[in-house]
Amino acid sequence: MSRWFSISFFSLFLLGISPILVQANASEIDGFNQRMKSFETKVAQRVNERPSLINAYNNLEQALNQEMNRAFDLVMSKISPERRAAMVEAQQQWAEHRATEYIWIDSTHGPVVEQSDEHVKVLQLRNLMMNARVLQLYSYLDTLPSVPTDGIIDSVVPKTDVAVADDNDLKIATIRGFSLGEGACFLDLIDEKRKPFTEVASAAFCQRERELLDKRVSLTYRLGVVPSAACAVESVTCVENNMLILVSNAQVIRPKR
Q: Where are the domains of the chain?
A: 3-148, 158-252
Mean of the per-residue pLDDT values of the chain: 76
Residues whose CB falls within 8 Å of the CB of residue 236, separated by 6 or more in sequence, listed in order: 184, 186, 198, 200, 226, 230, 244
**105 or 24: which carries more pLDDT confidence?**
105
pLDDT at 74: 84
DSSP 156: T
Residues whose CB falls within 8 Å of the CB of residue 190, separated by 6 or more in sequence, listed in order: 173, 174, 176, 196, 197
Section 71-75 average pLDDT: 85
The CATH number of 158-252, from 2.40.50, 1.10.238, 2.60.40, 2.40.128, is 2.40.50
pLDDT at 62: 85
- 257 falls in which pLDDT band (50, 70, 90)? low
pTM above 0.85, yes or no: no
pLDDT one-digit tens code per residue, 152-209: 333 333 333 333 334 344 589 999 999 988 778 899 999 888 888 888 998 889 889 9
| Collapsed DSSP state (helix, strand, coil) of residue 180 | strand
pLDDT at 154: 39
**How far is Cα 184 from Cα 206, in angstroms, rounded to an integer?**
8
**How far is Cα 51 from Cα 184, in angstroms, rounded to an integer?**
32
Section 130-140 average pLDDT: 90
